[in-house]
Amino acid sequence: MFNDRGYLSSHMKIHRGVKPHECNVCGKSFSRKMLLKQHQRVHTGERPYSCPECGKTFADRSNMSLHARLHTGVKPYSCDLCPKSFTKKHHLKTHMNFHTGLKPYKCDRCGLAFSQSSNMRTHYKKCVLRHGGGDGSNSGGEGASGLKVEVINS
């Protein structure tokens, strides 16, 4: 709960979509001044947080903390169905696709579906080589590697 009206007022801006703090470089707006300051590091290249173990630098503390798990071996996200655990929550979520049989990533070339996007991307590259280049016939969005990806919503 909020003990201070100022904090409550600041928090409510998030729900109302109020973003009064604007980046003078790209125009992106933020609900809190701290978020704007953090964003501006994209433009300045400032990386004030460094890993005490290896020295790698980061623009924000949370990414440094996630990185530090690589050194400590801490994996706070555990699967309830098997002994595997993960450093990141989204890795556990992707892993759960294996147990549930959910295959939300579909090859735009041949329609084969996969539980992990990385497996679909690997397949897609082979599929294009096997069946020739060109654009796919199914609708889908551009993936991170420039290939077309169709995410199946269940």
- Tell me whether residue 88 is in a domain: yes
The answer on 142 and 109 residing in a single domain is: yes
Least confident piece of the model among 1-5, 6-10, 66-70: 1-5
Report the pLDDT averaged over residues 25-42.
93
Whether residue 113 lies inside any domain: the answer is yes
Classify residue 143: in a domain, yes or no: yes
Express each pLDDT in 84-119 by its tens digit.
999 999 999 999 999 999 999 999 889 999 999 999
**pLDDT band, very low/low/confident/very high, at 12 (cuts 50, 70, 90):** confident
Number of domains in the chain: 2
Give the model confidence (pLDDT) of 127-150 as tens digits: 888 877 655 443 344 444 445 455
Do residues 95 and 59 share a domain?
yes
Q: What is the CATH number of the domain that holds 86?
A: 3.30.160.60
Which residues constitute the domain of residue 60? 49-100
The reply to whether 53 and 91 lie within a common domain is: yes
Compute CA distances 87 → 20, 54, 67, 90, whole Å: 34, 18, 9, 9
Q: Is residue 8 part of a domain?
A: no
Q: Would 127 be classed as within a structural domain?
A: yes
56 in the same domain as 95: yes
Same domain, 136 and 118: yes
> Does residue 113 sit in the same domain as residue 145?
yes
The structure tokens listed for 132 are: 């020739």
User: Is residue 5 very low, low, confident or very high in pLDDT (cuts 50, 70, 90)?
Assistant: confident
Q: What is the pLDDT of residue 138?
A: 39
According to the model, what pLDDT value does residue 144 have? 41
pLDDT in the model for residue 22: 95
Residues 54 and 84 in one domain: yes
Q: Does residue 10 belong to any structural domain of this protein?
A: no
Residue 11 within any structural domain of the chain: no
Spatial distance between the Cα atoms of 20 and 103, rounded to a whole number of angstroms: 41
For 27, 57, 84, 109, 146, the CA distances from 68, given in Å and listed in that order, are 32, 11, 19, 39, 31
